[in-house]
Amino acid sequence: MSKHHITTTINGDEVDFLCETSQTLLDVLRDELHLTGTKEGCATGDCGACSVSLDGVLVCSCLVLGVETGGKKIETIEGMADGDELHPLQRKFVEHVALQCGICTPGLLVAARSLLAKNPDPTEEEVRFGLAGNLCRCTGYQNIVNAVLDAAAEMRGA
Amino acid sequence: MGLKPTPYGTAIPFEEKELKFVGKNPTERPDAIEKVTGRARYAADYSLPGQLFGKVLRSPHAHANILSIDTSAAEALPGVKAVVTMDDFPDLEVEIAAAGELMVNFRDVTRNVMAREKVLYDGHPLAAVAATSNAIAKRALKLIKVEYEVLPHVIDVVEAMQPDAPILHEDQFTKGVDPKPEKPSNIATRIESKLGNSEEGFKKADVIIERHFNTKAAHQGYIEPHACVANYTEGGYAEVWTSTQGHFVFRSQIAKILKMDLAKITVTPAELGGGFGGKNTVYLEPLAIVLSKKSRHPVKMVMTRDEVFRATGPTSGTNTKVKIGATKDGKITGAQAELNYQSGAFAGSSLSMAAVTVFTRYDIENILVIGHDVTCNRPKVAAYRAPGAPMIAFGVESVIDELAEKLEIDPIEFRLTNAAKEGTQTHFGPKLGPIGFVETLEAAKASEHMKMPLGPNQGRGIATGFWFTIGNETSSTLNIAEDGTASFVYGTVDVAGGSRAVFTQIVAEELGIPLESIRVVQSNTTSLGFNFTTAGSRGTAAGSMAAVKASRDAVARMCDIAAKIWDVDIDEVAWEDGHARPAGANVGDFDPLSVADLAKKAAYYGGTIAGHAELNVVGGGPGFGTHIIDVEVDKGTGAVKVLRYSVIQDAGKAVFPDYVKAQFHGGAVQGIGMALNEEYIYDENGIMENPGFLDYRMPVASDVPNIDTIIVEVPNPNHPYGVRGIGEVPIIPPLAAIANAIHDATGIRLQDHPMSPPKVLKAMSEL
Ligand code: FES
Ligand code: FES
């Protein structure tokens, strides 16, 4: 079975990869490109641990095929900080103890960034519903919600 | 506990003192930056050069004899490098050992890892394949031919206890009954514990309430599936990187299952993506090692979510009976409980631990507790946060609430009247030491939450919980580098990022050096002596005791160097604020020496500075908590919404308070999930119907409210900083507290879990 040659942009860099038809974007990121910051919790679109943004749209990378991503822009957790400078969401997650085991954290950060891009001034309820696609078993969500609200305020310059 | 108490254990007594780091939130947790940038390495993130991918063939039947397994077609598939079945594993004798809060029997562990005579549940492994890609490994599984003789199965705990139930183990005769039964039974063990005479106690009661409860199995639900990479090398060595709460216990289990020497196995715990008790026992690791040995390649294995649900965890489904009697003025005179707990395919549920928590929150003179550990065709039960306790607390705290209502006594007052205190005799042996239960009830009574008004269809519920803190073997090393910075190597796996921060705070406090000068490192199994698994809320409590001991060891060594430099007696050197100083004015006029000064000179004065702890920690302080929950019940749909939630718990001493609160949040929300939604559902063939997150519905952010927290601090006298374990108590009260709140809102009392909309609707229609 011959593999497909795909060219994409990942976190601003042009990236080439070979993949089988059945490989998901998540498989490609983790197994072919060794970008293991994106996590697999279920591979069925139910946990959000694999969240990435694809041409600016939040997707579960376990539900996208590698072959569909040709010519597209992919953003993963690895591209979130600007060098040494953490993204405000990352900093607020640390400050608010919004992570425990941390396996859900990359997905939640990517999802939160996409939420704030659409709605820079969300209410608590909007954050809770906006992140309802991301499971976290450790935190009970409260510190995550507070971190997102606090980061949103900072990003608005409030 | 199942763990032998030792007279040679170590407890370092509590000292009241000024604190600089302990009790204050550190600004940055040692693990946090790696985790928010995606750089933290979990087991599935590891890869070795030349690695193969391993997959497991699992039983599609709940109960069947294995007549034959033919792997020849799979072996012939290009890309397949090894196939293993039971023939690649030695059979083992009965041998019991502790693995976390539950005991394991190696004869069963090896059968759970790879079925031998029969398959005992849907998902039971019976072969494994290593191939050059995941896709080829999956294709190979389909080529393995297994002939089964399907047997009748049993899923439900009460059905499994019946004399005519299908029997899982023909050689299992109920233990704990005299004389030994003649017929095999699914009841593996009967236990009984009592205090006073419960029947006499009931005679003094004015009101007696007896109720039956049922709870369904629930999964720990960690988001990280089990994963490992194993490499078997020349000379018979094995290296494993894995997702574990206890790498030393994993090493012991691997050594037994594969009949290897312990020293030939190195287990490295990867960053853990959640465990909650479910990662205390091996599943994939022995398979990966044997596949690696056979194929001469490293082998990586990662479970799918479907495999996690079907073959790991969950907690016991239970059937319980609770009977409590009290006088008119609210004094409990007698109490009985019967606990029937599923253990899954092999004996050994959390029954023995659950049984000792039943009435331990209350000072009751007459108690009888009877329990049965019951095998049935489900995955072998694993520990889940306060294993077994939430289910029996559901019963006890519901009956307590009903008694209080009948006696027209406020539910908190009723509990205060009967609350356990220092000196209370437990029904399982020891008297309780200083505990903070009354303080949590008083704090609940005085809380803002209790003053909030309730609207129509809204109700408030109270429930309480108790759990142990275990100690056990704990080793660590503190190395002081030549520049005076410190690395602390610990071996109690940091299951969620809190204990690493705490160890840094403790070392900083003991040495008097800033947090930034300390690096904490999680050991593998070769860099430290044995550490018991992180279970029983011991991680921070026992681990920090070892940090204190290792720090004090290093301080003694630094005082020794100062004494040599000054040419004085070691008793004439004092350690204060990160410096060796003369102990008094008459010792001499010497400038204080910092850690860095001493480290620079250490080589000449006898060698490197290090401190060690190799302890068996004892004296863990039990934890108590009280929860208050407000719910609103939708009368049309039966849906229950949690509106307000307060956790009040005794932490002994909260070393990192924001993290303690975060643990309270997490436990409470797991409890809400268990109470309202989560359950294992089986079809009539004994096949799990909901092995995925879509149908096994865990709480999401929009399902839950903010959780208010109050930390009570009654120091544990047997810990130098007064620390108690805090991780497990918060999951115990939610089931009962929600049931009590639903009653307050609607008048119904639910005894069947989960309290899902159809059950609420039905109960309301029967009112
Ligand atoms: S791994 Fe993609 S949603 Fe869970
Ligand atoms: S922090 Fe562990 S799952 Fe979210």
Express each pLDDT in B362-394 by its tens digit: 999 999 999 999 999 999 999 999 999 999 999
Last residue of a domain, one of B617, B643, B671: B617
B116-166 confidence digits (pLDDT tens): 999 999 999 999 999 999 999 999 999 999 999 999 999 999 999 999 999
Say whether both B632 and B710 belong to one domain.
yes
Residue B496 has pLDDT above 50, yes or no: yes
Measured from the CB, is residue A101 less than 6 Å from ligand 2?
Answer: yes
Mutation to test the B interface, candidates A90, A137, A143, most B Cβ within 10 Å? A137
Q: Is the pLDDT of residue B495 over 60?
A: yes
Write A53-58 long-range contacts (CB < 8 A, 24+). A53/A110, A53/A113, A53/A114, A54/A25, A56/A117, A57/A114, A58/A110, A58/A111, A58/A114
Strands B367-375 and B332-344, sheet pairing: parallel
Exposure of B7 by Cβ count < 10 A (0-12 exposed, 13-18 middle, 19+ buried)?
exposed
Confidence at residue A158, expressed as pLDDT on a 0 to 100 scale: 66
Of the residues A51, A93, A100, which should be mutated to test ligand 2's pocket, given the most ligand atoms within 8 Å of the CB?
A100
> Quick one: pLDDT at residue B2?
38
Mean pLDDT for B562-569 is 97
Quick check: is B630 in a domain? Answer: yes
Partner residues linked to A75 by β-bridges: A53
DSSP class of A82: B
Q: Is there a domain that residue B107 lies in? A: no
**Residue span of the structural domain in which B663 resides:** 388-469+619-765
- Interface pTM (ipTM) of the complex? 0.98
For residues B569 and B588, what is the distance between their CA atoms, to the nearest angstrom?
11
Domain count, chain B: 2
Per-residue pLDDT tens for B629-680?
A: 999 999 999 999 999 999 999 999 999 999 999 999 999 999 999 999 999 9
pLDDT over threshold 80, residue B755: yes
CATH superfamily of A3-79: Beta-grasp domain (3.10.20.30)
- Residue B354 above 60 pLDDT? yes
Cα B146 to Cα B137: distance, rounded to the nearest angstrom: 17
In sequence order, which ranges of B185-227 are alpha helices (DSSP H)?
A: 198-203
Check whether residue B598 and residue B636 sit in a common domain.
no
* Best probe residue, ligand 2, of A93, A105, A143 (max atoms within 8 Å of C-beta): A105
Residue B96 has a pLDDT of 87
Model pLDDT, residue B1: 34
Among candidate residues B617, B642, B677, the one where a domain is terminated: B617
Q: How confident is the model at residue B28 (pLDDT cuts 50, 70, 90)?
A: confident
Assigned token pair, B463: 């429930």
- Where residue B639 falls (left for φ over 0; alpha for ψ -120 to 50; beta otherwise) is beta
Residue B81 belongs to a domain: no
- Look at residues B453, B401, B419 and name the one whose alpha carbon lies nearest to residue B748: B401
Q: What is the pLDDT of residues B555-564, one digit of tens each?
A: 999 999 999 9
Chain B 403-442, CB below 8 Å of chain A: which residues? none
Centre of ligand 2 to C-alpha B681, Å, is 25
Instruction: Mark which residues 566-585 of B lie under 8 Å from A by CB.
Output: none
- Would B206 be classed as within a structural domain? no
Q: Is residue B249 part of a domain?
A: no
Residue whose entry in the numeric block shows the structure tokens 């609207």: B455
Name the strand (E) or helix (H) holding B169: none
B528: amino acid identity, one letter:
L
As a whole number, mean pLDDT of residues B67-75 equals 98
Work out the number of other CB atoms within 10 angstroms of the CB of residue A2: 7
Q: Do A100 and B706 touch (CB under 8 A)?
A: no
pLDDT greater than 80 at residue B99? no
pLDDT at position A1: 62
> Would you state the pLDDT for residue B468?
86
pTM score over 0.80: yes
Tell me how far apart the alpha carbons of residues A27 and A40 are, in angstroms, rounded to a whole number: 9
CATH number, domain of B742, equals 3.30.365.10
Secondary structure (H, E, C), B337-392: EEEEEEEECCCCCCHHHHHHHCCCCECCCCEEEEEEEEECCCCCCCCCCCCCHHHH
Mean pLDDT value across residues B516-529: 96
Same domain, B528 and B402: no
Residue ending a domain, choose from B583, B598, B617: B617
**Quick one: which of B341, B275, B286 has its CA closest to B308?**
B275
Same domain membership, residue B518 and residue B477: yes
pLDDT at residue number B536? 78
Question: Under an 8 A CB cutoff, do A104 and B223 touch?
Answer: yes
Q: How many other C-beta atoms lie within 10 A of the C-beta of residue B569? A: 10
- Strand B52-58 with B299-302, pairing: parallel
Residues B634 and B746 in one domain: yes
Mean pLDDT (whole number) for B424-440: 94
Give B587 to chain A, closest Cα distance, Å: 46
- In the predicted model, what is the mean pLDDT of residues B337-344? 98
**Could you count the other beta carbons within 10 Å of the beta carbon of residue B276?**
31
User: Is B204 buried (19+), middle (13-18) or exposed (0-12) by CB count in 10 A?
Assistant: middle
User: Hey, where are the domains in chain A?
Assistant: 3-79, 88-156
Is B750 in the same domain as B679? yes
Q: Is the domain covering A88-156 a CATH 1.10.150.120 domain? A: yes
Same domain for B495 and B560? Answer: yes
Model pLDDT, residue B4: 60
Note the maximum CA span of chain B: 87
Interface A-B: count of C-beta contacts within 8 A: 176
> Does residue B13 lie within any of the structural domains?
yes
Render pLDDT for A46-95 as a digit per residue (tens, 0 to 9).
Answer: 999 999 999 999 999 999 999 999 999 999 999 999 999 999 999 999 99
For B764, what's the count of Cα atoms within 13 Å in the CB-facing half-sphere?
Answer: 21
Residues 6+ apart with CB under 8 A from A2: none
Q: Is B44 on the interface with A (CB under 8 A)?
A: yes
As given in the structure block, the two tokens for residue B55 are 């997959």
Measured between beta carbons, the chain A residues lying within 8 angstroms of B669 are 139-141
| Pick from A46, A136, A143: CB nearest B692 | A46
Q: For residue B6, what pLDDT is reported?
A: 78
